[in-house]
Structure formats: C-alpha cells, structure tokens
A and B are shown apart, each in its own frame.
Chain A
Amino acid sequence: REERKAKRRRSRWGGDEKEKTFIPGMPTVLPTNLSKEQEEAYLVQLQIEEISRKLRTGELGIPLNPEERSPSPEPIYSSDGKRLNTREYRTRKRLEEERHHLIQQMLSLNPDFKPPADYKPPIIRVSD
C-alpha cells in the first residue's frame, strides 16, 4: 500500500478551476428531474460532441509531457519510410472507434438521432 502510494501518479483531475470544457448547447449542470433514459441519452450525446470537437480541432488530448503518455507500440513504416502508427494516428483511430460505439448506442436509444456530419461508419467488407 505504501509503495503504491509513493508511485501514485498525479491526480485524475485535469487543469484547475478555470480550465473548463464548454460544449455549445450542452450544459454540464443537469436538472434533478431527468428520467434514467433522458440522462443516459444526454451523457452519450455529450461524449459524442466532445469527441467530435477533438477530432475537428485536432486537440486530441495527447499529454505535452512525454512521461504522462502511454508506451508506444513497435513502429510500422510505409514503403517510403514514413511512420504510419504515430501517436496522433493511434489517438484519432481510438477516438473514431469510441465515437462509433457511442453513436451506435445513441441510435439504439433514439432511432431519429442524426450522427455528426463528419462521421463515417467503419467500412465492413462483405464478400459474396
């Protein structure tokens, strides 16, 4: 226990009180009278908006401090020697997958949901 405490990383809280995320049209204070379904749909939508914003602006949330980043996998290079699996590429891919999952969840909650304009479902190859 002591040893674990000593190794403990920084707090999971990001930034300070002034560093807040504002998502247009999506307040982060909820009324107390929402149904379970309304609450779930709202939280899923909030996450979709948040990921979409990251993908659009390129602010992917990659820590500036390399020590806070996760270990990288073995590099993969293209035939002309460019690295393919860069951190940015891997982060974008993970965010796209996360968003796809959330959009599927949203569509099951609300079939009329319109996914963001820049969303493309992953291509599933069907061979006949």
Chain B
Amino acid sequence: PGLTMVGGAGPATEVLCLLNMVTPEELRDEDEYEDILEDIKEECNKYGVVRSVEIPRPIEGVDVPGCGKVFVEFNSIIDCQKAQQSLTGRKFNNRVVVTSYFDPDKYHRREF
C-alpha cells in the first residue's frame, strides 16, 4: 500500500526481530508458549550464541507492545546477520517468517 521497500534492512544490530511468526492466541496457552520458545531457541542457536529471547505475551485487557513479535538477542552482530539470512522467508507454523534488525537499546528498555 504505497510502501516502497527501498533502502534495504538498515544497519545490522545484534537483536533480530521475527515477525508474522506467532499469534497472541498461540502464546496464551502455557504449553504452546513453552514449545514455541524452545523451537526458536533451538533453531537460533545454530547460527550463533543466543543471549536472550523475548516473546511478549498477551495480557487480558492490556495492549501489550510487541505482542506477536519475537526478539532474539545474539552475542554479536555477525551471528545475528547469519540468523537473519537463514531464517527470513522460512516457514514457522506454516507462516512466512519476516525479519528486521532491532535497536538494542530499545530492546533492553523493553520498548517493543
């Protein structure tokens, strides 16, 4: 919708944001959430050292920022780039994974 995707991904950082991957409904279920977290950690560990993972979960009656996104913090920018190249366009739960780099400062302040 009038969105031109020029300019590419922008500068790489050590935090990868994964979009179009999980739905708030899936994250509501405790077992499913644990499984999703495990699947993501397992896969991301193939591309580098994963420092932390954040998956904002829905809270009844609250508009949770970043809910529906997954954030993965790697040890280095290089690892994060490797993960982006490998994961973008893959399928997760039958959905196409979309990626973008995320500002580490915002990540640490949990400004999703």
How many A-B pairs fall under 8 Å by CB? 96
> Is there contact, CB below 8 Å, between A30 and B100?
yes
Complex interface bits, B90-106 against A, C-beta within 8 A gives 1, otherwise 0: 11111111111111000
Given A38-B3, A41-B1, answer yes or no on A32-B90 (Cβ-Cβ < 8 Å): no
- The interface size of chain A toward B, counting residues with CB under 8 Å, comes to 36
* Interface bin, chain B: 35 or more
Which A residues lie within 8 Å of B98 (CB)? 28-30, 43, 46
Given A11-B42, A13-B43, A46-B96, answer yes or no on A29-B90 (Cβ-Cβ < 8 Å): no
Given A8-B35, A31-B7, answer yes or no on A19-B91 (Cβ-Cβ < 8 Å): yes
Which A residues lie within 8 Å of B103 (CB)? 32
Per the bound structure, the CA–CA distance linking A17 and B5 in Å amounts to 23
Q: What residues of chain B have their CB less than 8 Å away from a CB belonging to chain A?
A: 1-3, 5, 7-11, 19-20, 31, 35-36, 39, 42-43, 84, 86, 88-103
